[in-house]
Structure 1
Amino acid sequence: MRKKRFNIFKYLFILLILAIIIGAGFVWFSVNSTPVSESKTAVSQKYNHDATPITVGLNKKQLNALSTYYLEKVQSSSNDKMDYKFVVTDRAYVYGNIKLLGSKIKYVLALKPKLLSDGNIQLDADGLEIGKLNIPPKFVLSYVSRNYKIPSWVKLDSKNSKIILNVNDFGSKDNLSYRATKIDMNGDGDFKFQVLIPK
């Protein structure tokens, strides 16, 4: 009669496979279970029609300089240790770092801007690279919405892989209103905004 040998590596391998499956399930559940309430995705209706409009035009270089200035100001005053940049070239891109398994890993989120009828801007996330992996954009949107303080006029909809820039709400502190009127990504770019000064 042959004696059956106990092979511990067989059981350790099975435990490893189970741990990977459970870990992947946890990540999937975490990404997909972050419901965005209607109030977070609702587009702002604040637009003062009795205000005096001033039109401001920017090209890609000017828009990048403005976003760099604003983000540096926000990031230096934040305790979240946020580290990301917003750059417009052929598309809009967010470059940053995400902490994963104790390491900082670089990510690039590709966005396609779309002008909404009320003057706000919708950024549709259509690509995300973390390290050398291409993964669904909703992963990083969900992570950022849970772990970082985002300005109140920026709404992240991780379920639909969208970012809504409520430009109308941007100037609520100084009683100014803003409205995007044109987004042209061709060539040097042409971005037009109305600044509404109350009468």
Structure 2
Amino acid sequence: MKTVKVKWKHLFFCLLGINGLLIALLFFYMFQPSSSPSIPTIEGEGPTFTVQTSKQHLNALVNAYIQKHEKKGQLSYDVQLADRLYIKSVLPVFGRPVDLTMAFDPVVDEHGHIVLAQPMMTFGQLRLPVPYVLAYIDKHASLPNWVKVDAKQERIYIVVSDIQIKKGFVLKAKTFDLSKDDITFTVTITK
């Protein structure tokens, strides 16, 4: 009888130790910094100009850029600015086209980049888990190098300062309010 109590106590403390180790590992990994994409901060020096545009003009500009730089065999998509920013695509499923629609609320961060947040994604009429769709887009879509997808944080970063408009010019977003059709960028001439 004594050996059964000793084995029971020994097994109990082993299980308690394993649980403690698992909790310690959980806390260790929970407080590690996330591996979000690196987004540069560029401080422009020189004269700065403000450029204001509308949703209609920016729609035309963005979609012309997408069509010009789209690669064959990649997932094609279309961007539409309305009450939210919509990214639309069509995926073939069993030989039939099915609409993939993503909606984002764009905000401007402190560095002048546009962050597409609070996503909603549908595949036909089915709502999809956002991290999986963003990971798929990051892997299969023909995205410019200034678009960074962070599937874990459920965000897309548009690093406006990486958009090459002309050497020596740095572009930053100032306002991006779709409800008021207030879209403003600053263009800084660097030294």
Structure-1-length-normalised TM-score: 0.72
| Structure 1 contact 167–178 (Cα < 8 Å) conserved | yes
Determine the structure 2 residue equivalent to 1:196: 188
Deviation digits for residues 53-96 of structure 1 (CA, Å, limit 9, x no counterpart): 12110111111111111111111xx1333321111111000001
Gaps of 5+ in 1: 1-36
Q: Does 1:183 align with 2:176?
A: yes
Aligned to 2:101: 108
1:44 paired to 2:79? no
1:68–1:86 CA contact under 8 A, matched in 2: yes
CA RMSD of superposed structures (Å):
2.1
1:160 — aligned with what?
A: 153
Structure 2: distance between partners of 1:145 and 1:116: 21
TM-score (norm 2): 0.74
45, 49, 63: which one aligns with 1:54 = 49
Structure whose CA Rg is larger: 2
The aligned residue for residue 70 of structure 1 is: 65
> Is 1:174 aligned to 2:167, yes or no?
yes
Distance 1:104 1:173, change over 3 A: farther
Counterpart pick for 1:142 among 135, 157, 161: 135
Unaligned runs of 5+ in 2: 1-33
Asked if structure 1 preserves the Cα contact closer than 8 Å seen for 2:74 and 2:140, the reply is no
1:4-32 alpha-carbon deviations (Å, 9 max, x no partner): xxxxxxxxxxxxxxxxxxxxxxxxxxxxx
Contact map agreement 1:80 1:149 (CA 8 A) in 2:
no
One-letter code aligned to 1:46: I
Higher mean alpha-carbon deviation, 149-158 vs 165-174, is at 165-174
Q: Percent identity?
A: 27
Helix, strand or coil for the counterpart of 1:174?
coil
Distance in 2 of aligned mates of 1:99 and 1:129: 15
1:87-98 to 2 correspondence within 5 Å? 87-98=80-91
Shift of the alpha carbon at 1:46?
1.5
Letter in 2 for 1:111: F
